[in-house]
């Protein structure tokens, strides 16, 4: 499979416009509103949710693993539902699209773990006396790591639907419902499954990070494999951490084998190009299912339901659009819509800034920006080191079809494996050697981020046509010249995709990598990640808000200034 | 145009104009004041080169796009959304690859809320009628192009449309398959129980139009106008070798290769017209230098004069492939077109037989003289300080009369011609055009 992650269409975006600033401001306001809402409710007290309640007995592990797994799938279900609703709305309504797509773009780039603290406060306030609040917060964290890529992929498929299929659907007078299930969803299935699978892998990291969390001087823990590791780490039980790692690996492999491989193989039937793909993905599980009668038996009772839904949705009308539109009225509507959004954002931002101003002073932004620069330096080192190490390896693997066939699934698993499971070992090492987390943090951030570069380097190398390689062999182009003329240009588009994702991953990881506890030791690195984590733990929410806003500005800004430019060059100059 | 004729009009185009606004604020007209009727019991062909807007016209009538002004009428009612009386057969088949043949055919019935039993029944009949029995549970991927288009026809006909629209339905198929499907379509049309009342086909294939249609509307390009309307009352089944068939084909070739705008001075090779047409008034035809050279070489080998229909037929070319080359050769003065005959000129003869350097020089001289855009670029570069200019300069000018894509396309042709003639060179990295020294 020669696909990058995320698929390249997920990152295809117009340049920065004023609306992006507006949407960024809107996000700021929403965060602030949610935070204030969470703070209005008296602090919840649920003793069973404390970290002490988590057992590190190995016998508890299977149950914890299943709890974690169920969270992952609930989040996936929510992501799919969100994708369908949001993607359809953005693709079908011109006005909604103007706001929804920039919003999604920013949501995709900002560090999700930063939001976690805010959403935890919010959900705890929503369900003050039950475990539901924490469950919701955890599921929401996983959801935010999965949904954006899938939504972009779906939206992009809808926007690039072949014109003749769209016309055929309209002339056949399909209802909105029929069109959605017969054309829109099947047509975007391949991208959806692929991005879903890869995002699901990334979700393990957020699951682990969100199960055990400290907010406002209180530690909370949900029964799950992530809090098991946290508890084992807090009690310095490295053996149990190792055990959890083994269980995690088994779980990732099992989910891949019984769910994602079959899904990927099944989605091949939705390929729009009439020709067959060169290498068909295969799945033993899918073959077994296809041969058995079980799917037919399961589907049977649902058929009348489908027919019923088809009839029930008929009143929504035919999936056609009016040919003539009143331009003047449309423009007036656009202007009114834009004005209202702008006013709400302006009022909200002022109020949020005033809150920060009175709580900690606006000078805090400068402080956070300085810390952000330090974390930026770490992220940059992570990307450069990963590139130097993994690009040559990835090219080697990708240029050999035999190697690639085995290596790419393995790298995919490595990328899914939550790096925070390994943190206790490094923390123990740092404590033992007395090395500073200021440097050690780089290693921790790299643990997760590096795989995206390797994975996409392989994908890029596979996509280089074999006749180009043969021609280079024939003309005896090797060594430095070969790298400059073939290898680097060939993998460049996929590398850019990997670089954006790796950098995003590193920013996210900084929130858990710059503040690490092991046993009674607390290791802190100087940086924006530690700033956010510390202010959250001590309940200084104005600082948390400041930190998140500054980090978001860093990530979005660098994406725009550096990565998008590289991306555009890759699209125009180096696409094969 | 009179809207009252003997037979009822099923569909009508009422002064349809379609234009797009260019990025430079100008408007680009694709269809200009088109009126015609599709009457009960007739097959009409819309014939034109690419860029004549024939597919756009079809889509206006089908209610898929809105005309800029004028109306499309279905049974005297204005079309405001996808036309309920029309089924369409697409050049690319437009089948859903994840549905079987039967599911594809049933799709339109399902949308019309036909009960399952009846749906199955009608789909089965349509599948039998169109010769697909046995393939009901196959997926489109497993079928050949011809069989896929049969599914396209079955899907369109199963809903018993008032009018069947076909957008180049046979042009993605090989010659024999296309011929076979055309014959079967005519056989269906001849059946008394055939529910569809009229057919409208868009094509660039002259013989196909003469074979199928009762009336042929020839559209001109840039903007699309109805240039000629021909009635075809040849008895069916029609025979290609019949003299009247050949005469009609020749007549249409003559119409299509003739100069488009009679108001503008003809770009005759010798006469230097006093008012030279601008790059926007006279766009470059989409012809490569190699393509024109090849055409001239063949014509020369055949004695210097050749009948275009015969040439196209022998080369298994269609009018869309051949006409840009013919237009290009005529524009440069390498050949003249008289009705449906192409005659090579002295310059053309020289261009073909001379050695590579001489023919390059000749080409450069001719292109700089007769191709407006090439001349404009050469002059502008000569007038510039350092002999180079950014491409954006020319694109900006072109965008006054073309869309973004077309402006780019025009410039690409001019770059190709200029590079061959060594008039100027082009650096794709910087987008600079530089005078050749």
Q: What is the C-alpha separation between B63 and B59, in angstroms, rounded? A: 6
Query: Which ranges in B7-100 belong to alpha helices (H)?
Result: 54-61
Arch. (CATH architecture) of A19-284: Orthogonal Bundle (1.10)
Q: Is A167 on the interface with B (CB under 8 A)?
A: yes
* Residue among B82, B99, B141 minimizing CB distance to A171: B82
Give every CB contact of residue A488 below 8 A, 6+ residues apart in sequence.
none
Q: Is A318 on the interface with B (CB under 8 A)?
A: yes
Q: What is the C-alpha separation between A373 and B395, in angstroms, rounded? A: 43
* Residue among A171, A186, A310 minimizing CB distance to B62: A171
**Searching chain B, which residue's CA lies closest to the CA of residue A172?**
B108
Q: What is the C-alpha separation between B213 and B38, in angstroms, rounded? A: 12
The pLDDT tens digits along chain B (437 residues) read 444 445 688 999 999 999 877 666 667 788 999 999 999 999 999 998 877 889 999 999 999 999 999 999 999 999 988 999 999 999 999 999 899 999 999 999 988 889 999 999 999 999 998 888 889 999 998 899 899 999 999 999 999 999 999 999 998 888 888 889 999 999 999 998 898 999 999 998 898 999 999 999 999 887 888 999 999 999 888 988 889 998 999 899 888 877 554 433 334 444 444 467 888 888 898 899 988 998 999 899 888 888 888 888 787 776 667 888 888 999 999 998 887 788 999 999 999 888 888 999 999 999 999 999 999 999 999 888 888 899 988 988 888 878 788 889 999 999 999 999 999 999 888 888 998 87
Fill in the DSSP letter of residue A322. Answer: -
Q: What is the C-alpha separation between B417 and B363, in angstroms, rounded? A: 8
Q: What is the C-alpha separation between A441 and A524, in angstroms, rounded? A: 9
pLDDT of residue B95: 92
Tell me: pLDDT of A94 over 90: no
How far away is chain A from the Cα of B10, in angstroms, using its nearest Cα? Answer: 17
3-state helix, strand, coil in chain B (%, to 5): 40, 20, 40
- pTM to 2 decimal places: 0.81
**Searching chain A, which residue's CA lies closest to the CA of residue B85?**
A171
pLDDT of residue B3: 43
Report the top-level CATH class of B9-256: alpha beta
How far away is chain B from the Cα of A308, in angstroms, using its nearest Cα? Answer: 12
- Report helix, strand or coil for A313: coil
| Inter-chain CB proximity B80 and A322 less than 8 Å | yes
* Residue among B81, B110, B141 minimizing CB distance to A323: B81
What does CATH list as the number for B289-435? Answer: 1.10.10
How far away is chain B from the Cα of A415, in angstroms, using its nearest Cα? Answer: 32
The structure tokens listed for B87 are 């089924």
CA A111 from centroid of its chain's CA atoms: 10
Overall average pLDDT of the A318-338 stretch: 80
Q: What is the C-alpha separation between B383 and B395, in angstroms, rounded? A: 18
The structure tokens listed for A520 are 């009674």
Q: Is A171 on the interface with B (CB under 8 A)?
A: yes
Instruction: Find, among B193, B96, B93, B203, the residue nearest to B150 by Cα.
Output: B93
How far away is chain B from the Cα of A310, in angstroms, using its nearest Cα? Answer: 9
CB atoms inside a 10 Å sphere around CB A323: 17
Q: Mutating which of B95, B100, B107 best tests the A interface, going by the most A Cβ atoms within 10 A?
A: B107
3-state helix, strand, coil in chain A (%, to 5): 80, 5, 20
| Chain B positions with Cβ closer than 8 Å to A | 59, 62-66, 79-84, 86-88, 90-92, 94, 96-99, 107-108, 110-113, 116, 139-141, 148, 155, 159
For domain A360-576, the question of CATH label 3.40.50.720 is answered with no
CA–CA distance from B337 to each of B267, B276, B327 (Å)?
12, 20, 9
- Parse chain A into domains and list their residue ranges: 19-284, 360-576
pLDDT of residue A474: 86
Summarize pLDDT for A330-374 with one digit per residue, the tens: 888 888 888 888 888 888 888 888 888 888 888 899 999 999 999
* Residue among A173, A175, A272 minimizing CB distance to B97: A272
E-strand stretches of B328-382: 335-338, 341-344
Overall average pLDDT of the A121-133 stretch: 79
CA–CA distance from A193 to each of A486, A502, B100, B123 (Å)?
31, 21, 22, 33
Give every CB contact of residue B266 below 8 A, 6+ residues apart in sequence.
B259
B82 chain-A contacts, CB cut-off 8 A: 170-171, 173, 318, 320
End-to-end CA distance of chain B: 58
| Sheet strands side by side (includes B9-21) | B27-39, B9-21, B69-74, B77-78
Residues A423/A512, Cβ–Cβ less than 8 Å: yes
pLDDT of residue A326: 73
How far away is chain A from the Cα of B67, in angstroms, using its nearest Cα? Answer: 9
Work out whether strand B341-344 and strand B305-307 pair parallel, antiparallel, or are unpaired: antiparallel
Q: What is the C-alpha separation between A549 and B341, in angstroms, rounded? A: 73
Total length of chain B: 437
Total length of chain A: 576
Q: What is the C-alpha separation between A451 and A334, in angstroms, rounded? A: 44
A489 chain-B contacts, CB cut-off 8 A: none
Buried b (16+ CB within 10 A) or exposed e, B112-146: eebeeeebeebbbebbebbbbeebeeebbeebebb
Backbone angles phi, psi at A300, to 5 degrees: -55, -55
| Inter-chain CB proximity B113 and A314 less than 8 Å | yes
pLDDT of residue A344: 84
Q: Mutating which of A157, A168, A173 best tests the B interface, going by the most B Cβ atoms within 10 A?
A: A168
Fill in the DSSP letter of residue A182. Answer: I
Backbone angles phi, psi at A214, to 5 degrees: -115, 120
Q: What is chain A's mean pLDDT, rounded?
A: 85
- Parse chain B into domains and list their residue ranges: 9-256, 289-435
Residues B373/B410, Cβ–Cβ less than 8 Å: yes
B96 chain-A contacts, CB cut-off 8 A: 165, 182-183, 186
* Residue among B65, B87, B92 minimizing CB distance to A164: B92
Give every CB contact of residue B202 below 8 A, 6+ residues apart in sequence.
B45, B46, B54, B55, B57, B58, B165, B166, B167, B168
A569 chain-B contacts, CB cut-off 8 A: none
Bridge-partner residues for B21, per DSSP? B27
Instruction: Find, among A102, A97, A104, A206, the residue nearest to A151 by Cα.
Output: A104
Q: What is the C-alpha separation between B71 and B428, in angstroms, rounded? A: 44
Query: Which ranges in B84-115 belong to alpha helices (H)?
Result: 101-111
Q: Is A306 on the interface with B (CB under 8 A)?
A: no
Give every CB contact of residue B54 below 8 A, 6+ residues apart in sequence.
B46, B47, B48, B202, B204, B219, B224
| Inter-chain CB proximity B94 and A168 less than 8 Å | yes
Most confident of A137-146, A206-215, B37-46: B37-46
How far away is chain A from the Cα of B355, in angstroms, using its nearest Cα? Answer: 32
A164 chain-B contacts, CB cut-off 8 A: 90-92, 94
How far away is chain B from the Cα of A318, in angstroms, using its nearest Cα? Answer: 9
Q: Helices (H) and strands (E) in chain A — how many of each?
A: 25, 4
CB atoms inside a 10 Å sphere around CB A393: 15
CB atoms inside a 10 Å sphere around CB B187: 12
Q: Mutating which of A323, A324, A569, A573 best tests the B interface, going by the most B Cβ atoms within 10 A?
A: A323
Query: Under the phi-then-psi rule, with left for phi > 0, alpha for psi from -120 to 50, and beta for the rest, what region is A264?
Result: alpha
Q: What is the C-alpha separation between A45 and A49, in angstroms, rounded? A: 9
Q: Is A432 on the interface with B (CB under 8 A)?
A: no
pLDDT of residue A45: 52
How far away is chain B from the Cα of A169, in angstroms, using its nearest Cα? Answer: 9
Summarize pLDDT for A42-83 with one digit per residue, the tens: 555 555 566 667 888 888 899 999 999 999 999 999 999 999
Please tell me if the domain spanning A19-284 has the same topology as the one spanning A360-576: yes
Residues B111/A173, Cβ–Cβ less than 8 Å: yes
Q: What is the C-alpha separation between A106 and A380, in angstroms, rounded? A: 20
Tell me: pLDDT of A398 over 50: yes
**What proportion of chain A, given as a percentage, has pLDDT over 90?**
29
pLDDT of residue B267: 42
């Amino acid at each position: 499979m020669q696909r990058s992650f995320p698929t390249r269409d997920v990152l295809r975006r117009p340049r920065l416009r004023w609306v992006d600033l507006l949407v960024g401001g809107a996000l700021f306001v929403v965060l602030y509103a949610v935070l204030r809402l969470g703070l209005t409710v008296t602090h919840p007290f649920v003793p069973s949710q404390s970290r002490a309640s988590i057992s590190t007995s190995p016998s508890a592990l299977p149950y914890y693993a299943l709890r974690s797994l169920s969270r992952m799938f609930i989040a996936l279900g929510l992501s799919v539902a969100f994708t369908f609703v949001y993607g359809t709305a953005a693709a079908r309504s011109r006005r909604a699209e103007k706001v929804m797509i920039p919003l999604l773009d920013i949501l995709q780039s900002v560090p999700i773990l930063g939001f976690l603290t805010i959403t935890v406060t919010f959900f705890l306030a929503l369900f003050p006396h039950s475990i539901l609040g924490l469950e919701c917060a955890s599921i929401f964290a996983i959801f935010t790591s999965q949904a954006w890529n899938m939504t972009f992929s779906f939206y992009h498929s809808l926007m690039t639907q072949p014109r003749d299929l769209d016309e055929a659907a309209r002339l056949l007078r399909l209802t909105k419902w029929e069109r959605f299930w017969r054309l829109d969803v099947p047509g975007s299935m391949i991208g959806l499954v692929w991005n879903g699978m890869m995002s699901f892998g990334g979700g393990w990291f957020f699951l682990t990070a969100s199960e055990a969390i400290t907010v406002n001087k209180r530690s909370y823990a949900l029964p799950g494999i992530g809090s098991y590791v946290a508890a084992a780490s807090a009690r310095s039980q490295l053996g149990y951490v190792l055990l959890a790692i083994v269980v995690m690996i088994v779980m990732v492999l099992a989910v891949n084998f019984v769910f994602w491989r079959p899904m990927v193989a099944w989605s091949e039937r939705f390929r729009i190009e009439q020709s067959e793909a060169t290498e068909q993905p295969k799945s033993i599980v899918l073959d077994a299912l296809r041969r058995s009668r079980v799917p037919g038996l399961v589907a049977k009772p649902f058929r009348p339901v489908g027919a019923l839904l088809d009839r029930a949705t008929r009143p929504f009308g035919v999936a056609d659009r009016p040919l003539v539109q009143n331009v003047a009225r449309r423009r007036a509507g656009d202007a009114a819509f834009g004005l209202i959004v702008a006013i709400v954002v302006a009022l909200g931002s002022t109020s949020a800034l005033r809150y920060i101003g009175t709580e900690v002073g606006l000078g805090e932004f400068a402080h956070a920006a300085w810390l952000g620069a330090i974390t930026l330096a770490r992220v940059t080192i992570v990307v450069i080191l990963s590139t130097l190490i993994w690009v040559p390896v990835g090219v080697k693997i990708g240029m050999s079809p035999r190697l690639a066939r085995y290596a790419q699934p393995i790298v995919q698993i490595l990328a899914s494996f939550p790096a925070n499971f390994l943190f206790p070992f490094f923390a123990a090492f740092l404590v033992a050697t007395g090395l500073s987390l200021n440097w050690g943090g780089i290693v921790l951030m790299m643990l997760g981020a590096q795989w995206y570069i390797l994975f996409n380097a392989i994908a890029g190398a596979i996509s280089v046509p074999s006749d180009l390689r043969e021609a280079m062999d024939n003309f005896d182009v090797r060594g430095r010249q070969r790298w400059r003329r073939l290898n680097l240009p060939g993998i460049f588009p996929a590398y850019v995709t990997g670089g954006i994702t790796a950098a995003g991953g590193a920013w996210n990881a900084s929130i858990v990598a710059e503040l690490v506890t092991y046993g009674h030791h607390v290791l802190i690195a100087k940086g924006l990640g530690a700033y956010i984590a510390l202010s959250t733990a001590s309940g200084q929410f104005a600082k948390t808000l400041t930190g998140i806003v500054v980090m978001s500005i860093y990530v979005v800004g660098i994406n725009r200034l550096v990565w998008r430019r590289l991306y555009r060059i890759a699209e125009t100059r180096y696409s094969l | 145009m009179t809207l009252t004729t003997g037979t009822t009009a099923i569909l009508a185009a009422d002064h349809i104009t379609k234009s797009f606004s260019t990025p430079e604020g100008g408007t680009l007209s694709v269809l200009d004041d088109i009126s015609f009727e599709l009457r009960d019991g007739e097959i009409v062909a819309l014939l034109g080169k690419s860029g004549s807007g024939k597919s756009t016209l079809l889509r206006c009538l089908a209610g898929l796009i809105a005309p800029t002004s004028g109306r499309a009428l279905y049974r005297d009612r204005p079309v405001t959304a996808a036309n309920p009386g029309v089924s369409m057969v697409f050049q690319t088949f437009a089948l859903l690859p994840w549905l079987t043949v039967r599911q594809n055919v049933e799709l339109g019935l399902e949308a019309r809320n036909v009960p399952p039993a009846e749906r199955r029944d009608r789909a089965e009949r349509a599948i039998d009628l169109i010769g697909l029995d046995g393939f009901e549970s196959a997926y489109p991927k497993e079928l050949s192009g011809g069989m896929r288009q049969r599914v396209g026809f079955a899907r369109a006909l199963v809903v018993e449309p008032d009018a069947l629209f076909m957008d180049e339905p046979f042009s993605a198929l090989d010659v024999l398959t296309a011929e076979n499907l055309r014959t079967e379509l005519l056989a269906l049309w001849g059946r008394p129980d055939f529910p569809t009342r009229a057919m409208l086909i868009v094509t660039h294939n002259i013989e196909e139009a003469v074979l199928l249609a009762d009336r042929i509307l020839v559209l001109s390009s840039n903007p699309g106008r109805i240039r000629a309307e021909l009635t075809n009352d040849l008895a069916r089944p029609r025979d290609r070798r019949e003299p009247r068939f050949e005469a009609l084909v020749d007549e249409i070739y003559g119409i299509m290769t003739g100069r488009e705008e009679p108001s503008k001075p003809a770009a005759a090779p010798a006469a230097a017209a006093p008012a030279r047409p601008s790059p926007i008034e006279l766009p470059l035809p989409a012809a490569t230098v190699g393509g024109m050279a090849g055409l001239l070489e063949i014509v020369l080998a055949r004695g210097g004069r050749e009948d275009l229909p015969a040439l196209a037929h022998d080369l298994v070319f269609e009018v869309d492939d051949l006409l840009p080359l013919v237009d290009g050769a005529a524009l440069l003065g390498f050949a003249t077109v008289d009705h449906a005959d192409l005659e090579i000129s002295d310059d053309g003869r020289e261009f073909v037989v001379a050695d590579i350097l001489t023919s390059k020089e000749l080409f450069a001289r001719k292109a700089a003289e007769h191709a407006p855009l090439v001349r404009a670029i050469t002059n502008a570069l000569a007038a510039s300080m350092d002999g180079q200019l950014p491409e954006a300069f020319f694109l900006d000018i072109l965008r006054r009369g073309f869309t973004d894509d077309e402006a780019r396309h025009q410039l690409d042709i001019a770059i190709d011609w200029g590079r061959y003639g060594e008039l100027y060179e082009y650096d794709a990295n910087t987008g600079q055009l530089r005078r050749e020294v």
